[in-house]
């Protein structure tokens, strides 16, 4: 070709126009994805704030309900197990008196720890109680004999000693014989019981109402995190950028470099090579646009596993 400048400039201008059109499409898509991702991030922050608030209220209600349940279960259980020998305690019967809104799973560890604690306390007291002791024996006397009592165990040891004073030690059964005497329970103010029951009821309702809302917000947070991840990795953007970069190199940069080299003439095979490269690049761009158009028209298939999981929950 005697005058390749017109051919090279036409090639470069055509490639530049195509790159500008497709590049503008990519830029608009990236801007839309960025805006969508920022909106999802705002929704995620809002959902996380709500989840933190709801989780705090739910956890506080759960702790309040569980603490009251454990306290009343402990008080009731101690009245049953202190008069009995360790081997005579019917564990299953005690677990039938679980406070409302509490579960066997929550109370079993409490009962097991209580049984072990009472048995250890009885064993320690038994080492310092003599057969000659009378019903006047008290905890201070046992302390003088070397009994060590932790501050948090004062109430438990006092209840055991109260039982011992009602049932003096027997040489054959130590102080584990059941009591048949009159036992006066701890007198609690009706106002205190009423306040505890009101707090207990409120905690049960708050925990029960907060649990589904907490699960719903946790699901929403997971969904938003997943969508942000998908928006951050859009399908087809990276291949499109690579195709445009290669096409710009072949269709724009290469012809401009050839023109800048002041090539007076171009051999026929070089002209055909540039034309073929331009056509291949154009085919790649059009192929990408056709593929992207097909992906937009594909029907959305539901996630079978997620659907089955939702049905199983309901």
Token pair listed for 198: 């009101």
- Is the pLDDT at 49 greater than 90? The verdict is yes
- Give the model's pLDDT for residue 223: 93
Residues 97 and 85: their CA atoms lie apart, in Å, by 20
Question: What is the spatial distance between Cα 304 and Cα 314, in angstroms, rounded to a whole number?
Answer: 16
- Residue 7's CB is within 10 A of a number of other CB atoms, namely 17
Q: Greater confidence, 131 or 110? A: 110
CA distance linking residue 23 with residue 46, whole number of Å:
35
Q: What is the pLDDT of residue 119?
A: 87
User: Phi and psi for 262 in degrees, rounded to 5?
Assistant: 60, 45
Buried b (16+ CB within 10 A) or exposed e, 91-103: eeebeeebbebbe
Tokens 């072949």 -> residue: 250
Of 35-44, 236-245, 300-309, the range with the highest mean pLDDT is 35-44
pLDDT attached to residue 3: 66
Q: At 224, list the tokens.
A: 């938003």
Residues 8-30, mean pLDDT to the nearest whole number = 85
Judged against a pLDDT cut of 60, whether residue 175 lies above it is answered with no
| Structural tokens at position 267 | 């051999």
Domain boundaries, the chain: 5-55+212-300, 61-207
HSE-up (13 A, CA, CB side) for residue 227 = 17
Cβ 54 vs Cβ 213: under 8 Å: yes
Residue 143 has pLDDT above 50, yes or no: yes
Q: Average pLDDT, stretch 100-116? A: 89
| pLDDT confidence of residue 167 | 62
């Amino acid at each position: 070709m005697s005058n390749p400048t017109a051919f090279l400039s036409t090639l470069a201008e055509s490639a530049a126009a195509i790159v500008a059109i497709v590049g503008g499409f990519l830029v608009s898509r990236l801007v839309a994805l960025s805006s969508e991702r920022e909106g999802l991030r705002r929704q995620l922050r809002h959902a996380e704030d709500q989840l933190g608030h709801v989780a705090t209220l739910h956890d506080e209600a759960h702790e309040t309900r569980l603490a009251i349940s454990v306290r009343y279960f402990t008080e009731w259980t101690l009245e049953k197990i202190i008069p009995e020998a360790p081997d005579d305690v019917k564990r299953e019967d005690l677990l039938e008196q679980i406070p409302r809104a509490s579960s066997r799973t929550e109370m079993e560890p409490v009962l097991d720890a209580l049984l072990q604690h009472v048995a250890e306390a009885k064993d320690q007291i038994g080492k310092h109680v003599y057969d000659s002791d009378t019903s006047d024996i008290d905890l201070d006397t046992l302390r003088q004999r070397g009994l060590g009592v932790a501050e948090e165990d004062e109430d438990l040891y006092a209840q055991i000693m109260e039982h011992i004073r009602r049932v003096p030690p027997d040489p054959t059964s130590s102080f584990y014989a059941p009591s048949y005497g009159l036992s006066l329970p701890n007198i609690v103010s009706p106002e205190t019981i009423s306040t505890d029951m009101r707090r207990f009821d409120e905690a049960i309702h708050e925990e029960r109402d907060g649990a589904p809302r907490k699960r719903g917000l946790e699901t929403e947070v997971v969904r938003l995190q997943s969508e942000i991840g998908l928006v951050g990795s859009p399908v087809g953007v990276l291949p499109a950028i690579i195709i445009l970069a290669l096409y710009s190199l072949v269709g724009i940069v290469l012809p401009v470099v050839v023109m800048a080299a002041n090539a007076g003439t171009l051999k026929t095979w070089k002209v055909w090579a540039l034309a073929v490269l331009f056509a291949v690049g154009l085919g790649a761009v059009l192929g990408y646009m056709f593929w992207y158009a097909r992906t937009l028209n594909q029907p959305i298939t539901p996630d079978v596993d997620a659907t089955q999981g939702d049905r199983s929950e309901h």
